[in-house]
Copies of this chain bind each other. A is one copy, B any other.
């Protein structure tokens, strides 16, 4: 653990991921600790977007569906995400949004477990997950029962009426990391499927879906994968479930022969059936290019650095902001967290605004959480050191009390 800023600079110099930082285009002097919300811009994306817009779309036009294999983008991008989450290349496909993919998989889970109608999740899960479940329940009525229970009550909630356990691997607010293997096993013990939302873990830590025996998963393209704002999401269906998997969103791109234009729907083989509409080529190409930054990266090194950065941040906050009124809102042990730390403070909103004005970008989650994400591909040790220095300056100076940092509406 570094004791000085010089130690941090030495760690950065020795960092096996040090070469990755140059792959990203970040403003000089900015310390960007919000890659858990929107990943930074990979330089390859700029080149790729120019190529896709000017050449592929502008010059080659409609023919690009074949000549540049636009039509194969969802499968190709999925196959590149697969090794980051412990899946086979044919078990992952890029498509739609995380929310839409949750809908597809939650509905499909009811099919895969006929006779069962209960879906279990936890309160405080990322709201999108809960909202999608509510929409599915509203649509299907008595065919769905939702049990939203605290993790401590899971044993009571899991019984042989449960079709699906839906959990987010890393909690969006606290950063707490679920034990995927253990929870998947608990779902399986009652014959239920496990669906993991990997939005806050993919690209930040090792995920081992197949090692854990997970059944289904979704994840986000615009956080640690750096695919750009609102990037396409992805979904995973374990090989053993693919033959029985039916998406409720039976768009033409999931058809066995989309260009035969038959009236009758026939699902494509494999995970292609999870596709719905025409692939968003510009956005999907950006995500594809962004994944270049992961080429050759050892996930163990990614995770080790991520944990070290989080520990450094927390320790320095304790050392430098002891009187500032922060409470830790995330697990203390790095092994129990994803790649973010969270602090609680009643004036969290204004403090974060003042900190952003000082060039350290984290974010705020109502009602009182400051989040700091450590994207290990481009955040360094010295930056974390400096971030806490600036936070300490903000707190010591009372800068955050200035009117310009105060929240003017109830919603950020």
Contact = CB atoms under 8 A, between A and B. Distances in A.
Interface string A101-141: 00100010000000000000001110110111011101110
Nearest to A281: B229
A78 interface: no
A173 interface: yes
Nearest to A40: B61
A326 interface: no
A134 B50 CA distance: 39
- Give the number of copies in the complex: 2
B134 A265 contact: yes
Interface in A200-244: 222, 228-233
A32 interface: yes
A46 B41 contact: no
A251 B25 contact: no
Contacts of A45: 53
Interface stretch (A92-100, A184-192, A315-323, A334-342): A92-100
16 contacts: A40-B58, A46-B53, A123-B263, A124-B263, A125-B263, A127-B252, A127-B263, A132-B249, A134-B264, A138-B250, A148-B263, A229-B279, A257-B411, A259-B366, A261-B366, A282-B283
Interface of A: 25-27, 30, 32, 34, 37-38, 40-41, 45-46, 49-50, 53-54, 57-59, 61-65, 70, 96-100, 103, 107, 123-125, 127-128, 130-132, 134-136, 138-140, 148, 173, 222, 228-233, 246-255, 257-265, 276-284, 286, 356, 361, 363, 365-366, 410-412
